[in-house]
Amino acid sequence: MSSLSASDMDLTQGGSRRSDENAHPEVQPAAADQGDAVPTDTEAIDAKVVDDQPAQGTDAEGQAVAAQPAAAQPGDEPPADAPVADAETPEPAPAPAVAQPRIERKYPVDPDAPPAVSVQDLSITYRTTFEKIPTIKSAIVRLGRGERAVREVHALQNLSFDVMEGTALGIIGANGAGKSTLMRALAGVLPPTSGRIEVRGEISSLLSLGVGFNGALSGRENVMLGGLAQGLTRAQVAERAEEIAEFAELGDFMDLPLRTYSAGMAQRLAFAVSVHMEPDILLIDEALSAGDARFKNKAAAKMDELMSSARAMFLVSHSLASIRELCNEAIWIHEGRLMMRGTPQACGDAYTRFLEVGENAFTLEDL
């Protein structure tokens, strides 16, 4: 079992990590993300859960943040204080006890296996400065107004849940809920501010497609870069390079600099690199939006193939239909907190009621 925490993460901008027999304890976390956001000062703390005492986060003032209620279990109703239930909203049809995803697994699940992924009291806070280069003048103006120079965003707050082998977990939530932040933390790109993530196996992500690519390099060179960022050796990437190029269907563009690609072409290349990594754990963040309609079908078929042999899969999508179709469990996150865990149907229903918009809000994405 490997674990991700602020102190022992293998940080790659490529959006993925290998499991950590190779993890280097002295590797220090780098800035968490592009832009000017960095994790809080507490990022170096590996908040291990010690003797049943859950690690506590700290707020902006360094005050202990109260532990959140325990994560709901599959099939649970939303927590009592979750603003989900609406007296006038009809109850949804009861979800089946165990939802069956469309995709059949190639390998049987070992029921005694430890969780493929264990997220323990995970909190992530972004710190953002208002100006790119703060000046003394702007600092004085802020001081005069009683404003803080640094804004903190508590993107994830005390999230805890286990994902067992064979799980395809859908992650739903409104814009800004913290879904991508969770995925980036799972991928090892973003160190926890506090808490811990334990991952069993190799992880490959289809999130932030193409992060780690270099616009000045050719498609082929970026395949090597992307493969190395995903943790493969040079020889391993070279072995797959042709297959990746074929899958991306970029023809002569493979020898041209990436900056000459359209956004869709760059996504196709990134998608092709990611799906050829044979991961144990697959992270997919709206990856199906890559490419045009024809490529989308091909991408969906490739994902089916990957998911049939992956140990676990995480899918972030605003399309509840995709989540229902591809996943057998779901979590709903709101403002960085775990609101509910259950079947995709139950979570989707609760989330839809919460938004008070009805299923129609998703028809565009579901097309």
Residues that bind ligand ATP (CB under 6 A): 33, 35, 37, 126, 128, 153, 155, 173, 175-181
Q: Which amino acid is at 121?
A: D
Closest to ligand ATP by CB, 65 vs 153, is: 153
Q: Which amino acid is at 269?
A: L
Nearest-approach distance from CB 13 to ligand ATP, in angstroms: 13
Please name the residues in contact with 112: beta carbons below 8 A apart, sequence gap of 6 or more: none
Closest to ligand ATP by CB, 155 vs 244, is: 155
Q: How many CB atoms lie within 10 A of CB 361?
A: 14
Please name the residues in contact with 175: beta carbons below 8 A apart, sequence gap of 6 or more: none
The C-alpha atoms of residue 164 and residue 311 are separated, in whole angstroms, by: 8
Quote the tokens at residue 183. 């995925």
Nearest-approach distance from CB 219 to ligand ATP, in angstroms: 27
The C-alpha atoms of residue 314 and residue 170 are separated, in whole angstroms, by: 6
Q: Are 199 and 185 in contact (CB under 8 A)?
A: no
Q: Are 281 and 201 in contact (CB under 8 A)?
A: yes
Nearest-approach distance from CB 122 to ligand ATP, in angstroms: 12
CB nearest ligand ATP: which residue? 37
3-state SS record for 167-225? EEEEEECCCCCCHHHHHHHHHCCCCCCEEEEEECCCEEEECCCCCCCCCCCEHHHHHHH
Check the CA dihedral 184-284-335-186 and report its sign. negative
Closest to ligand ATP by CB, 35 vs 83, is: 35
Nearest-approach distance from CB 120 to ligand ATP, in angstroms: 19
The C-alpha atoms of residue 3 and residue 51 are separated, in whole angstroms, by: 17
Instruction: HSE, CB side, 13 Å, CA atoms: give it for residue 244.
Output: 29
The C-alpha atoms of residue 335 and residue 63 are separated, in whole angstroms, by: 19
Closest to ligand ATP by CB, 177 vs 326, is: 177
Nearest-approach distance from CB 238 to ligand ATP, in angstroms: 34
Closest to ligand ATP by CB, 23 vs 150, is: 150
Place of tokens 């989540």: 323
Nearest-approach distance from CB 65 to ligand ATP, in angstroms: 16
Closest to ligand ATP by CB, 176 vs 251, is: 176
Closest to ligand ATP by CB, 37 vs 55, is: 37
Nearest-approach distance from CB 121 to ligand ATP, in angstroms: 18
Closest to ligand ATP by CB, 175 vs 262, is: 175
The C-alpha atoms of residue 197 and residue 352 are separated, in whole angstroms, by: 29
Nearest-approach distance from CB 316 to ligand ATP, in angstroms: 7
